[in-house]
Amino acid sequence: MWRYLLPIVVLAALIGFFWRGLYLNPRIVPSPLIGKPVPVFSLPRLHDPDSVFTQEQFHGQVALLNVWATWCVACRDEHATLLHFAQQGVVPVYGLDYKDDRRSALDWLAKDGNPYAAVAFDASGDVAINWGVYGAPETFLIDSHGVIRYKYIGPLTPDIIDKELLPRIAALRRTGT
């Protein structure tokens, strides 16, 4: 009897797992960094390689860190949205240029506009790995104490900004974090 019943139970469990997976959002990947301080890092700035960009940049303000690269097609798709959002001045938007060519990045920002208050240049991608970056684009919401509060994987859209980022930013401002 068990010989026939066990495969049916296993098959039913697998079907249940797959069914549940159909309703999960692939853009929401749990990050172990949510609720923790931003990783300690020191990188040269894209526009001024002699000055450094560190985690201290985030203290005292709610901010976004957007991981991007010129080779990233989705980053190009989200660029106009980032420009518009940055122009609104809701929070400063910082960039982490990931595994990129410095000259290409500088040319792209000069040609298409620069939404970033400052850009860290991570040529090797080591710092992005410490942030738990899977690829580009990814965006992190950081509170005024330098704690990561939210991570979004994929290109930002006006809808994501309105429904996900702006309410979280408002909540952080209300609570003073």
**Is the predicted pLDDT of residue 72 greater than 80, yes or no?**
yes
How far is 125 from 54, CA to CA, in rounded Å? 15
Residue 12 domain flag: no
End-to-end CA distance of the chain: 60
Residue 20 domain flag: no
Range of the domain at 63: 29-175
CA distances from 141 to 1, 75, 122, 131, 162 (A): 55, 17, 19, 12, 14
Residue 130 domain flag: yes
Residue 6 domain flag: no
Residue 22 domain flag: no
Mean pLDDT of 72-100: 97
Tens digits of residue pLDDT in 11-32: 777 776 666 666 665 555 566 7
Give the global pTM: 0.83
Mean pLDDT of 103-122: 97
How far is 135 from 57, CA to CA, in rounded Å? 23
How confident is the prediction for the chain on average, in pLDDT? 90
Nearest in space to 149 (alpha carbons), one of 50, 34, 17, 21 = 34
What are phi and psi for residue 98, nearest 5 degrees?
-105, 120
CATH label of the domain that carries residue 147 = 3.40.30.10
Mean pLDDT of 132-146: 94
Residue 153 domain flag: yes
Burial class of residue 119 (count of CB atoms within 10 Å of its CB; 0-12, 13-18, 19+)? buried
How far is 122 from 125, CA to CA, in rounded Å? 5
Residue 139 DSSP SS3: strand
**Beta-carbon contacts of residue 60 (< 8 Å; ≥ 6 apart):** 144
The total number of structural domains in the chain stands at: 1
Residue 17 domain flag: no
